[in-house]
Amino acid sequence: MRAVGVDIGGTKIAVGVVDEHGTILAKTKRKTNPADPASIDAAIADAVAELASEHEFHAVGLAAAGFVSSDRKRVLFAPNIAWREYPLAQKVATAIGRLDVAVVVENDANAAGWAEYAYGSGASAKNMAMLTIGTGLGAAIVADGVMLRGAYGFAAELGHLRVVPDGEPCGCGQRGCWEQYASGSALTREARRAAAEHPKRAAALIEAAGGDPAAITGPEITKLAFEGDEFSVGQLAELGRWIGEGCASLAAVLDPELFVVGGGVIGAGDLLLDPARDAYASHLSAKGHRTTAPIVAASMGNDAGIVGAAALARLES
Query: What pLDDT digit, counting tens, does each position of 195-217 carry?
Result: 999 999 999 999 999 999 999 99
Is the confidence at residue 317, as pLDDT, over 80? no
CATH classification for the domain delimited by 124-299, as one of 3.20.20.70, 1.10.3720.10, 3.30.450.20, 3.30.420.40 = 3.30.420.40
| Domain residue spans of the chain | 3-114+302-316, 124-299
Confidence of residue 135 (pLDDT cuts 50, 70, 90): confident
Query: What pLDDT digit, counting tens, does each position of 54-93 carry?
Result: 999 999 999 998 899 999 999 999 888 999 999 999 999 9
Q: E strands within 1-40?
A: 3-8, 12-18, 24-31
Confidence of residue 288 (pLDDT cuts 50, 70, 90): confident
Same CATH topology for 3-114+302-316 and 124-299: the answer is yes
Confidence of residue 313 (pLDDT cuts 50, 70, 90): very high
Confidence of residue 154 (pLDDT cuts 50, 70, 90): confident
Q: Which pLDDT score is estimated for 153?
A: 87
CATH number of 3-114+302-316: 3.30.420.40
pTM over 0.85: yes
Q: Which pLDDT score is estimated for 171?
A: 84
Q: Which pLDDT score is estimated for 226?
A: 98
